[in-house]
Amino acid sequence: MISVETSIKHLAWSNQKFFSYFATQPEVTFSLRAADGEWGIGTLLSHIANSESWFRYCLTEVDWSDFQDITSGAMIKDYLQIMAELDSVLLNETSKPDGELAIQAGDKVIHATRSLLLSQAVMHAAEHKGQIATILKQHGHHIDLDALDVWNFITARK
């Protein structure tokens, strides 16, 4: 059975490769969207970072950040560092006991286990990476998500 730790290590590896793909993309790529009114690729990329920041908050109570939308490949360098730092925090959380956490979310409290939050961080990023890949395909571009799967991660580590 794959461990939560391995899942988070895969997430970190995948995030670096996925975000790096956009470093050389023209600015127009970041505004591509599936349909009018839907989020563009730059918004979705920053949403992945914002969400990891929120998961960090849930796990550590460190305030989360709202990162600005990515509008150019030049911004990716900063986001690669942001993602590395956030992924490092998530990885550190895998060594802690899997207890229930009480998370203050506005005027309500959310109860979730550490493993649920870590698993959701992985799934959330994967869902949006698939969404971004679909938008790219709609506009005649391609990113190979199979190259970023767990199989390739495990192979790359050997």
The stretch 102-122 carries a mean pLDDT of 96
Burial letters 61-76, b for 16+ CB under 10 A, else e: eeeeeebebbbebebb
Kindly state the average pLDDT of the residues 62-81. 95
Please state, in angstroms and rounded to a whole number, the distance separating the CA atoms of residues 90 and 32.
30
Q: Is pLDDT of 158 > 90?
A: no
Which pLDDT does position 139 carry in this prediction? 97
pLDDT tens per residue, range 113-151: 999 999 999 999 999 999 999 999 999 999 999 999 999
Position 81 scores a pLDDT of 97
What digits encode the pLDDT tens for the residues 8-64? 999 999 999 999 999 999 999 999 999 999 999 999 999 999 999 999 999 999 998
Q: Are 116 and 110 in contact (CB under 8 A)?
A: no
pLDDT greater than 90 at residue 78: yes
Average pLDDT, the chain: 96
Residue 87: C-alpha distances to residues 6, 29, 32, 56, 81 (Å): 12, 25, 26, 9, 10
CATH, domain range 4-152: 1.20.120.450
Residue type, 88: S
Question: Quick one: pLDDT at residue 135?
Answer: 98
